Chains A and B, each alone.
Chain A
Amino acid sequence: MTEVLFVLFGVIAVGSAVGVVMSRSPVGSLLFMVATLASVAGIYVLFEAHFLAAVQVMVYAGAIMVLFLFVIMLLNLGHAYQADVKFGLWTLLSLAVTGLMAGILLNRFWDGGRSGLVGDSAAAAIDASIREKGAVGAIADPLFTDYVVAFELTGLLLLVAIVAAVVLAKPRT
Protein backbone atom coordinates (compact mmCIF):
# COMPACT_ATOMS: atom_id res chain seq x y z
CA MET A 1 0.00 0.00 0.00
CA THR A 2 2.78 2.43 0.98
CA GLU A 3 4.74 1.59 -2.17
CA VAL A 4 1.65 2.11 -4.37
CA LEU A 5 1.01 5.52 -2.78
CA PHE A 6 4.69 6.45 -3.11
CA VAL A 7 4.73 5.60 -6.82
CA LEU A 8 1.46 7.50 -7.33
CA PHE A 9 2.70 10.64 -5.53
CA GLY A 10 6.11 10.37 -7.17
CA VAL A 11 4.65 10.15 -10.69
CA ILE A 12 2.38 13.15 -9.98
CA ALA A 13 5.33 15.11 -8.52
CA VAL A 14 7.66 14.46 -11.46
CA GLY A 15 4.91 14.99 -14.06
CA SER A 16 3.86 18.29 -12.51
CA ALA A 17 7.50 19.37 -12.18
CA VAL A 18 7.91 18.84 -15.93
CA GLY A 19 4.69 20.85 -16.32
CA VAL A 20 6.21 23.70 -14.28
CA VAL A 21 9.15 23.90 -16.68
CA MET A 22 7.15 23.38 -19.87
CA SER A 23 3.91 25.31 -19.26
CA ARG A 24 3.56 28.38 -21.48
CA SER A 25 1.49 30.46 -19.07
CA PRO A 26 2.98 31.50 -15.70
CA VAL A 27 -0.31 30.72 -13.93
CA GLY A 28 -0.23 27.21 -15.40
CA SER A 29 3.32 26.75 -14.10
CA LEU A 30 2.14 27.90 -10.70
CA LEU A 31 -0.76 25.42 -10.59
CA PHE A 32 1.58 22.59 -11.63
CA MET A 33 3.90 23.69 -8.83
CA VAL A 34 1.02 23.45 -6.33
CA ALA A 35 0.38 19.88 -7.53
CA THR A 36 4.08 19.04 -7.08
CA LEU A 37 4.15 20.51 -3.57
CA ALA A 38 0.95 18.68 -2.59
CA SER A 39 2.25 15.31 -3.79
CA VAL A 40 5.59 15.88 -2.02
CA ALA A 41 3.52 16.59 1.12
CA GLY A 42 1.86 13.20 0.54
CA ILE A 43 5.31 11.59 0.43
CA TYR A 44 6.18 13.35 3.70
CA VAL A 45 3.16 11.62 5.27
CA LEU A 46 4.50 8.27 4.03
CA PHE A 47 7.73 9.07 5.91
CA GLU A 48 5.74 9.84 9.11
CA ALA A 49 6.56 13.58 8.89
CA HIS A 50 2.97 14.66 9.48
CA PHE A 51 3.78 18.13 10.82
CA LEU A 52 6.02 18.93 7.85
CA ALA A 53 3.32 17.69 5.46
CA ALA A 54 0.81 20.08 7.04
CA VAL A 55 3.33 22.96 6.97
CA GLN A 56 4.17 22.15 3.35
CA VAL A 57 0.51 22.40 2.32
CA MET A 58 -0.23 25.51 4.38
CA VAL A 59 2.97 27.55 4.01
CA TYR A 60 4.35 26.39 0.66
CA ALA A 61 1.31 25.44 -1.41
CA GLY A 62 -0.79 28.01 0.40
CA ALA A 63 1.09 31.16 1.34
CA ILE A 64 4.19 31.20 -0.90
CA MET A 65 2.34 30.10 -4.05
CA VAL A 66 -0.37 32.72 -3.41
CA LEU A 67 2.45 35.29 -3.12
CA PHE A 68 3.75 34.20 -6.54
CA LEU A 69 0.22 34.28 -7.98
CA PHE A 70 -0.30 37.72 -6.50
CA VAL A 71 2.86 39.04 -8.18
CA ILE A 72 1.88 37.47 -11.53
CA MET A 73 -1.56 39.10 -11.32
CA LEU A 74 -0.08 42.42 -10.10
CA LEU A 75 2.37 42.59 -13.02
CA ASN A 76 -0.38 41.38 -15.39
CA LEU A 77 1.75 38.51 -16.73
CA GLY A 78 -1.05 35.94 -16.65
CA HIS A 79 -1.56 36.03 -20.40
CA ALA A 80 2.02 36.54 -21.55
CA TYR A 81 2.05 33.47 -23.76
CA GLN A 82 5.08 34.28 -25.90
CA ALA A 83 7.50 31.40 -25.60
CA ASP A 84 10.40 32.24 -23.34
CA VAL A 85 12.10 28.86 -23.63
CA LYS A 86 15.48 28.99 -25.31
CA PHE A 87 15.54 26.30 -27.99
CA GLY A 88 18.27 24.81 -30.12
CA LEU A 89 21.81 24.36 -28.93
CA TRP A 90 21.10 25.99 -25.58
CA THR A 91 18.39 23.45 -24.68
CA LEU A 92 20.62 20.55 -25.71
CA LEU A 93 23.44 21.97 -23.61
CA SER A 94 21.16 22.49 -20.57
CA LEU A 95 19.74 18.96 -20.90
CA ALA A 96 23.28 17.59 -21.07
CA VAL A 97 24.46 19.57 -18.04
CA THR A 98 21.42 18.79 -15.85
CA GLY A 99 21.51 15.15 -16.96
CA LEU A 100 25.18 15.01 -16.02
CA MET A 101 24.42 16.59 -12.64
CA ALA A 102 21.58 14.10 -12.00
CA GLY A 103 23.90 11.27 -13.04
CA ILE A 104 26.61 12.39 -10.61
CA LEU A 105 24.09 12.73 -7.78
CA LEU A 106 22.57 9.33 -8.53
CA ASN A 107 26.01 7.77 -8.78
CA ARG A 108 26.69 9.13 -5.31
CA PHE A 109 23.38 8.33 -3.64
CA TRP A 110 21.82 5.45 -5.57
CA ASP A 111 23.59 2.15 -5.15
CA GLY A 112 20.69 -0.21 -5.77
CA GLY A 113 19.92 -0.45 -2.05
CA ARG A 114 23.22 -2.03 -1.04
CA SER A 115 24.32 0.73 1.32
CA GLY A 116 23.53 1.20 4.99
CA LEU A 117 20.44 3.14 3.96
CA VAL A 118 18.33 -0.04 3.75
CA GLY A 119 17.36 -0.46 7.37
CA ASP A 120 15.49 2.43 8.97
CA SER A 121 18.05 2.89 11.73
CA ALA A 122 16.57 6.00 13.38
CA ALA A 123 12.95 5.24 12.46
CA ALA A 124 12.12 3.44 15.72
CA ALA A 125 13.38 6.37 17.82
CA ILE A 126 11.40 8.86 15.71
CA ASP A 127 8.22 6.78 15.91
CA ALA A 128 8.58 6.43 19.69
CA SER A 129 9.11 10.19 19.98
CA ILE A 130 5.99 10.85 17.88
CA ARG A 131 3.95 8.45 20.03
CA GLU A 132 5.20 10.08 23.20
CA LYS A 133 5.10 13.79 22.28
CA GLY A 134 2.84 13.93 19.24
CA ALA A 135 3.78 14.86 15.66
CA VAL A 136 4.38 18.53 16.53
CA GLY A 137 6.14 17.89 19.82
CA ALA A 138 8.60 15.48 18.22
CA ILE A 139 9.93 18.34 16.06
CA ALA A 140 9.37 21.13 18.58
CA ASP A 141 11.47 19.42 21.24
CA PRO A 142 14.84 19.56 19.36
CA LEU A 143 13.80 22.85 17.72
CA PHE A 144 13.43 24.65 21.05
CA THR A 145 16.33 22.97 22.85
CA ASP A 146 19.29 22.08 20.61
CA TYR A 147 18.46 24.47 17.75
CA VAL A 148 16.95 27.38 19.66
CA VAL A 149 19.68 29.83 18.53
CA ALA A 150 19.10 28.91 14.89
CA PHE A 151 15.36 29.25 15.48
CA GLU A 152 15.72 32.77 16.88
CA LEU A 153 18.04 33.71 14.00
CA THR A 154 15.36 32.45 11.61
CA GLY A 155 12.93 34.89 13.20
CA LEU A 156 15.48 37.67 12.68
CA LEU A 157 15.90 36.57 9.05
CA LEU A 158 12.16 36.83 8.49
CA LEU A 159 12.15 40.34 9.99
CA VAL A 160 15.01 41.39 7.67
CA ALA A 161 13.17 39.84 4.72
CA ILE A 162 9.98 41.78 5.53
CA VAL A 163 11.87 45.08 5.76
CA ALA A 164 13.83 44.31 2.57
CA ALA A 165 10.66 43.38 0.66
CA VAL A 166 8.91 46.61 1.71
CA VAL A 167 11.94 48.76 0.82
CA LEU A 168 12.49 47.04 -2.55
CA ALA A 169 8.87 47.00 -3.71
CA LYS A 170 8.11 50.56 -2.61
CA PRO A 171 7.83 52.99 -5.56
CA ARG A 172 10.74 55.43 -5.76
CA THR A 173 9.68 58.93 -4.94
Chain B
Amino acid sequence: MLTQPAVLLSVLLFAIGSLGVVIRRNAIIMFLCIELQLNAVNLAFVALSRHVGIEGQVFVFFVMTVAAAEAAVGLAIIISVFRHFETVNVDKFNLLKW
Protein backbone atom coordinates (compact mmCIF):
# COMPACT_ATOMS: atom_id res chain seq x y z
CA MET B 1 0.00 0.00 0.00
CA LEU B 2 2.87 2.32 0.85
CA THR B 3 5.14 0.82 -1.80
CA GLN B 4 4.78 3.56 -4.41
CA PRO B 5 5.38 6.41 -1.89
CA ALA B 6 8.39 4.48 -0.54
CA VAL B 7 9.82 4.12 -4.06
CA LEU B 8 9.23 7.86 -4.59
CA LEU B 9 11.09 8.58 -1.34
CA SER B 10 13.87 6.22 -2.42
CA VAL B 11 14.26 8.02 -5.76
CA LEU B 12 14.35 11.40 -3.96
CA LEU B 13 17.04 10.23 -1.53
CA PHE B 14 19.07 8.72 -4.38
CA ALA B 15 18.86 11.96 -6.39
CA ILE B 16 19.88 14.06 -3.35
CA GLY B 17 22.78 11.68 -2.72
CA SER B 18 24.05 11.86 -6.28
CA LEU B 19 23.66 15.66 -6.23
CA GLY B 20 25.84 15.71 -3.12
CA VAL B 21 28.49 13.55 -4.79
CA VAL B 22 28.59 15.94 -7.74
CA ILE B 23 28.52 19.37 -6.08
CA ARG B 24 30.54 18.81 -2.89
CA ARG B 25 34.34 18.76 -3.11
CA ASN B 26 35.05 17.39 0.37
CA ALA B 27 35.94 13.72 -0.07
CA ILE B 28 34.32 12.68 3.23
CA ILE B 29 31.02 14.40 2.35
CA MET B 30 31.08 12.81 -1.10
CA PHE B 31 31.57 9.46 0.59
CA LEU B 32 28.70 10.18 2.99
CA CYS B 33 26.47 10.94 0.00
CA ILE B 34 27.41 7.59 -1.57
CA GLU B 35 26.22 5.96 1.67
CA LEU B 36 23.00 7.96 1.28
CA GLN B 37 22.55 6.49 -2.21
CA LEU B 38 23.13 2.96 -0.90
CA ASN B 39 20.55 3.64 1.77
CA ALA B 40 18.04 4.83 -0.83
CA VAL B 41 18.49 1.57 -2.73
CA ASN B 42 18.02 -0.35 0.55
CA LEU B 43 14.73 1.47 1.10
CA ALA B 44 13.53 0.42 -2.37
CA PHE B 45 14.58 -3.17 -1.63
CA VAL B 46 12.64 -3.24 1.66
CA ALA B 47 9.56 -1.65 0.09
CA LEU B 48 9.56 -4.09 -2.85
CA SER B 49 10.19 -7.09 -0.57
CA ARG B 50 6.50 -6.82 0.35
CA HIS B 51 5.76 -7.86 -3.26
CA VAL B 52 8.64 -10.09 -4.25
CA GLY B 53 9.41 -11.96 -1.04
CA ILE B 54 11.79 -11.97 1.92
CA GLU B 55 14.78 -12.10 -0.48
CA GLY B 56 14.60 -8.33 -0.76
CA GLN B 57 15.43 -8.02 2.93
CA VAL B 58 18.26 -10.56 2.60
CA PHE B 59 19.75 -8.39 -0.15
CA VAL B 60 19.54 -5.32 2.12
CA PHE B 61 21.62 -7.30 4.62
CA PHE B 62 24.28 -7.90 1.96
CA VAL B 63 24.22 -4.27 0.82
CA MET B 64 24.77 -3.15 4.43
CA THR B 65 27.78 -5.47 4.76
CA VAL B 66 29.29 -4.22 1.51
CA ALA B 67 28.65 -0.63 2.65
CA ALA B 68 30.53 -1.32 5.88
CA ALA B 69 33.50 -2.82 3.99
CA GLU B 70 33.43 0.07 1.53
CA ALA B 71 33.38 2.64 4.35
CA ALA B 72 36.42 1.02 6.01
CA VAL B 73 38.48 0.91 2.79
CA GLY B 74 37.32 4.32 1.55
CA LEU B 75 38.12 6.07 4.81
CA ALA B 76 41.53 4.39 4.88
CA ILE B 77 42.17 5.78 1.37
CA ILE B 78 41.04 9.24 2.54
CA ILE B 79 43.44 9.05 5.51
CA SER B 80 46.25 7.99 3.17
CA VAL B 81 45.48 10.84 0.74
CA PHE B 82 45.24 13.37 3.59
CA ARG B 83 48.61 12.25 4.92
CA HIS B 84 50.17 13.03 1.55
CA PHE B 85 48.30 16.17 0.40
CA GLU B 86 47.17 17.65 3.76
CA THR B 87 43.68 18.16 2.35
CA VAL B 88 40.58 16.14 1.49
CA ASN B 89 39.37 18.56 -1.18
CA VAL B 90 39.23 16.47 -4.34
CA ASP B 91 40.09 19.47 -6.54
CA LYS B 92 43.49 19.71 -4.85
CA PHE B 93 44.78 16.33 -6.00
CA ASN B 94 44.51 14.82 -9.44
CA LEU B 95 47.15 12.10 -9.55
CA LEU B 96 46.19 8.55 -8.66
CA LYS B 97 49.65 7.88 -7.28
CA TRP B 98 51.65 8.97 -4.29
Contact = CB atoms under 8 A, between A and B. Distances in A.
B25 A85 contact: yes
Interface of A: 2-3, 6, 10, 13-14, 17-18, 20-21, 26, 29-30, 33, 36-37, 40, 43-44, 46-49, 51-52, 55-56, 59-60, 63-64, 67-68, 71-72, 74-75, 77, 80, 84-86, 90-91, 94-95, 97-99, 101-102, 105-106, 109-113, 116-118, 120-123, 125-126, 129, 138-139, 142-143, 146-147, 150, 154, 157-158, 160-162, 164-169, 171
Q: Is the interface of B mostly helix, strand, loop or mixed?
A: helix
Contacts of B65: 154, 157-158
Interface residues of B, number: 69
Nearest to B15: A102
Nearest to A14: B12
Nearest to B19: A98
Contacts of A116: 51
Interface of B: 1-9, 11-20, 22-26, 28-29, 31-33, 35-36, 39, 42-43, 46-55, 57-58, 60-62, 64-73, 75-80, 82-83, 88-89
A84 B26 contact: yes
Contacts of A94: 19, 22-23
Contacts of B83: 171
Contact of A33 (B36, B47, B54): B36
A40 B43 contact: yes
B23 A40 contact: no
Contacts of B4: 109-113, 117-118
Given A26-B29, A120-B50, A169-B76, A157 B69 contact: yes
